[in-house]
Every structure is written in structure tokens, then in C-alpha cells.
Amino acid sequence: MKFIVFLLTVWSVYANGLTDIVKTGDLKAVSRAVTSKKYNINEQDSDGLSGVIISAMVGDSAMLELLISHGADVNLSAKQGMTALHAAVFHGNESIVKMLIAAGADVNMADDQGRTALHVAAEKGLSNPIDDLIRSGANIKVWDYRGQSPIFVAIGNRQLNTLNELLENGADPEQTDLMGRTPLMLVAFLGEYEMISLLLRFHANVHAVDYAFHTALWYAKQRNHKSSIQVLRKAGALF
């Protein structure tokens, strides 16, 4: 009877895929599995999650290091195009981000919405991952499929510090969206006068017009943002 139980236990372990074992968080079990060579190191489950992506999602650096050391692909994508780097940035795990970049993660790989890891960092307001990504060659001006670059994502999520971080690293304050709107127009519409002041320090053009010939001041007036109107007029905006 004990022999049968033993066989059933062994069979159940090997019946599971590597991703199932990774999900248990049992580092020793995963180590045995990858060492046995009986598993595909890049196996993906029904959601497209690989062991690397799962490890990045939960922030398990030891598991991630083990998988990478056995040749796991760090650039696989799950459903909706999420990569391990997207997941690590989303959860704000800087050490995992650094590990993935060091292992060759593509910092400009986009998901199904055209969003790179830098878009995710801008949305979440995470300064450290932004620094890591940009130093590693992330395209700071890339558009997603909605026509938004990281600077527009930061503004849309009212991330003042992130906006400053992006501008300090070369984001273009004159970049336009699909409607010809500049970052200054968007912050004027939102009434974010601190962001207006920040953009002006980086020489944003108060006289720029979008495709409908509207200026930042026009956008501020639509919402009657008095502080924003005052800052823009002080900077020379006339209409």
C-alpha cells in the first residue's frame, strides 16, 4: 500500500507542469524539476504565464534567479502581452526589475495596448523603475495605441514627481497626442497648476495650438481653473 501511495505521489508531481510547481513557491521543488531536465523551462500555462512571469508577479527573486540561471526566457509574454518586466514594474519591485534588465529583458517590449514598462511606471508614479528603464534604453517618447507617450500617462494620472522625472530624462514637453494636444494643454484642462509651472520651467510653449487651434489657456478656461489661468497668463498666454 505504501508503495502505491509513493507511486501516486511521484506521478502527481510529474503530471503537473513547471508553472504549477513555480506557483507553489517551493524553491527546492522547482530546483529539482529544472535540474531533472524533464520540464520545459519556458512552459506557459493557459494564461500564458511562464515561471519567470509568475516569479516577477509575486516578487520572488530567488525563484527568478533560479529560472534565469537555467536559461529561462525573460521576454515571453502572457495574455494581453504582459511580460515579466511589465509585471515587476506594475508591482513596484525594483530589485526584480533590475534582475530582469540584467538578464536581457527588452525594455521597449509592448503589450497588446502598445504599452511598454515605462508607460506602466509612469501610470503608477514609480521613480526608481523609471530611472532603471531609461538608463537601459527605454524609449521615452514611444506612443501606445491610444497615442499616449509616458509623459501623457503620467499627466493623466496626476503624477507630478513622475512628470518631473520624465522631463529631467529628456521627455519632450512639446510632444503632441493624436489630437495635436501638448502636455501643457492637458494639465491646463485638468487644472494641475503645479504641473503647468513644471512644464513652463522646461520651456513648454504657451502659444502652441492643437488641431482645433485651441491653446492651453483655452483648455484652462473650459473648466474655469482660475489658478491655472493665472499661471498661464503670467507666462504670456493671450488666448
Q: Per-residue pLDDT tens for 185-194?
A: 999 999 999 9
State how far Cα 5 lies from the chain centre.
46
% pLDDT > 70, the chain: 94
Length of the chain: 239
Residue 87 falls within a domain, yes or no?
A: no
Structure confidence at residue 5 (pLDDT): 33
12 in Cβ contact with 45 (< 8 Å): no
Task: Please give the C-alpha separations between residue 30 and each of 21, 40, 117, in angstroms, as whole numbers.
Answer: 6, 12, 28
Global pTM exceeds 0.75: yes
Task: Please give the C-alpha separations between residue 43 and each of 18, 53, 56, 138, 176, in angstroms, as whole numbers.
Answer: 7, 11, 15, 27, 41
Residue 59 falls within a domain, yes or no?
A: no
Structure confidence at residue 1 (pLDDT): 36
108 in Cβ contact with 77 (< 8 Å): no
The angle at the Cα of 217, spanning 214 to 222, to the nearest 5 degrees, equals 80
Structure confidence at residue 14 (pLDDT): 46
Residue 76 falls within a domain, yes or no?
A: no
Is the pLDDT confidence value at 60 over 90?
yes
**Residue linked to cell 534567479:** 65
186 by Cβ neighbours in 10 Å (0-12 / 13-18 / 19+) ranks as buried
Structure confidence at residue 127 (pLDDT): 83
Residue 193 falls within a domain, yes or no?
A: yes
Q: Per-residue pLDDT tens for 140-181?
A: 999 999 999 999 999 999 999 999 999 999 999 999 999 999
Residue 226 falls within a domain, yes or no?
A: yes
DSSP state of 218: H
When mean pLDDT is compared across 113-122, 123-132, 205-214, the lowest value belongs to 123-132
Helices (H) and strands (E) in the chain, counts: 15, 0
CATH at 203: 1.25.40.20
% pLDDT > 90, the chain: 90
Residue 188 falls within a domain, yes or no?
A: yes
Structure confidence at residue 191 (pLDDT): 96
Alpha carbons 16 and 213: distance in angstroms, whole number: 61
Residue 79 falls within a domain, yes or no?
A: no
Q: How many domains does the chain have?
A: 1
Bridge partners (DSSP) listed for residue 50:
44
DSSP state of 131: H
Residue 3 falls within a domain, yes or no?
A: no
223 is in which domain, residue-wise?
Answer: 173-239
Q: Per-residue pLDDT tens for 13-41?
A: 444 799 999 999 999 999 999 999 899 99
Q: Is 81 left (phi over 0), alpha (psi -120 to 50) or beta?
A: left
When mean pLDDT is compared across 15-24, 29-38, 60-69, 75-84, the lowest value belongs to 15-24
Pick the closest to residue 19 from 43, 47, 46 (CA basis).
43
